[in-house]
Amino acid sequence: MIPQYEPLFTNERANIGDYLLTNSWLTEHIKTKEFEQGISNFLGVKHTIIVNNGTISLCLALLANGVKPGDRVLVPSLTMIATANAVRFIGAIPIFVDVEPETLCMDITQIPDYIKLWSPKAIIYVTFNGRQGNNKCIVSLNVLCSAKGIAVIEDNAQSFGSKNELGQTIGNSINLSSFSFSVPKIITTGQGGCLTTNNDELAQQIRYLKDFGRSGGGNDVHEHFGINCKFTDLQAVIGLTQMETINERINAKKNLALTYYNELKDIKQIKFIKTNLEYTVPWFVEIFVEDRDKLVEYLLTKDIQTRKMYSPIYTQKCYQPNVERHPVAEEYSRKGLWLPSSMILQKQEIIYICEMIRNYYEN
Segment 84-115, tens digit of pLDDT: 999 999 999 999 999 999 999 999 999 999 99
Strand partners, 211: 228
4 in a structural domain: no
With 90 as the cut, is the pLDDT of residue 59 above it?
Answer: yes
Q: Are the CB atoms for 229 and 51 separated by under 8 Å?
A: yes
**Structural domain boundaries, residue 257:** 246-362
Residues 77 and 159 reside in one and the same domain: yes
With 80 as the cut, is the pLDDT of residue 145 above it?
Answer: yes
Q: How confident is the model at residue 25 (pLDDT cuts 50, 70, 90)?
A: confident
Residues 260 and 170 reside in one and the same domain: no
Residues 18 and 58 reside in one and the same domain: yes
With 90 as the cut, is the pLDDT of residue 155 above it?
Answer: yes
In this prediction the pTM is 0.96
Least confident of 21-35, 248-262, 348-362: 21-35
Residues 120 and 210 reside in one and the same domain: yes
Q: Are the CB atoms for 50 and 32 separated by under 8 Å?
A: yes
Q: Are the CB atoms for 243 and 39 separated by under 8 Å?
A: yes
| Cα separation, 153 vs 105, whole angstroms | 13
The residue out of 243, 278, 296 marking a domain boundary is 243
pLDDT of residue 41: 97
pLDDT of residue 134: 82
Residues 214 and 253 reside in one and the same domain: no
34 in a structural domain: yes
Give 216 or 212, the one with higher predicted confidence: 212
Residues 194 and 226 reside in one and the same domain: yes
Q: In this structure, what is the dihedral angle of CA atoms 167, 173, 177, 182, given to the nearest 10 degrees?
A: 0
Least confident of 162-166, 241-245, 340-344: 162-166
Query: Which DSSP symbol is given to 288?
Result: E
Residues 251 and 238 reside in one and the same domain: no
With 90 as the cut, is the pLDDT of residue 255 above it?
Answer: yes
Q: Name the H helices within 244-337.
A: 246-264, 292-301, 327-335
pLDDT of residue 135: 81
224 in a structural domain: yes
pLDDT of residue 325: 93
If one counts every other C-beta atom within 10 angstroms of the C-beta of residue 69, the result is 8
With 80 as the cut, is the pLDDT of residue 116 above it?
Answer: yes
Query: Which DSSP symbol is given to 277?
Result: T
pLDDT of residue 215: 81
321 in a structural domain: yes
Residues 255 and 201 reside in one and the same domain: no
Classify residue 209 as left (phi > 0), alpha (psi -120 to 50) or beta.
alpha
Residues 297 and 325 reside in one and the same domain: yes
* Summary mean pLDDT of the chain: 95
Q: For residue 301, what is the domain's CATH number?
A: 3.90.1150.10
The residue out of 224, 243, 262 marking a domain boundary is 243
Q: Structural domain tally of the chain? A: 2
The whole-number average pLDDT for the span 46-66 is 98
The whole-number average pLDDT for the span 280-287 is 97
**Rg of the chain's alpha carbons, rounded to an integer?**
21
Q: For residue 81, what is the domain's CATH number?
A: 3.40.640.10
Residues 239 and 253 reside in one and the same domain: no
261 in a structural domain: yes
Residue 274 CB-density burial (10 A; 0-12 exposed, 13-18 middle, 19+ buried): exposed
pLDDT above 90 as % of the chain: 89
Query: What stretch of H or E contains 241?
Result: helix 233-243
The whole-number average pLDDT for the span 342-353 is 97
Q: Are the CB atoms for 305 and 3 separated by under 8 Å?
A: yes
pLDDT of residue 4: 98
6 in a structural domain: no
pLDDT of residue 140: 86
Going by their DSSP bridges, the two strands 193-197 and 47-51 should be labelled as: antiparallel
Q: Which residues contact 173 (CB under 8 A, 6 or more apart)?
A: 132, 135, 138, 154, 164, 166
Q: Which residues contact 249 (CB under 8 A, 6 or more apart)?
A: 8, 161, 186, 187, 242, 343
Query: What stretch of H or E contains 140?
Result: helix 135-148
Q: How confident is the model at residue 173 (pLDDT cuts 50, 70, 90)?
A: confident
7 in a structural domain: no
The residue out of 193, 209, 243 marking a domain boundary is 243
pLDDT of residue 131: 95
Could you tell me which of 147, 196, 239 has the C-alpha nearest to residue 46?
196
Q: How confident is the model at residue 45 (pLDDT cuts 50, 70, 90)?
A: very high
Q: How confident is the model at residue 244 (pLDDT cuts 50, 70, 90)?
A: very high
Q: How confident is the model at residue 219 (pLDDT cuts 50, 70, 90)?
A: confident
Query: Which DSSP symbol is given to 189?
Result: -
* Side chain identity, residue 207: R
Residues 238 and 122 reside in one and the same domain: yes
In the three-class reduction of DSSP (H, G, I as helix; E, B as strand; rest coil), residue 294 is classed as helix
3 in a structural domain: no
Residues 289 and 207 reside in one and the same domain: no
| Cα separation, 183 vs 189, whole angstroms | 7
First to last CA, the chain: 22
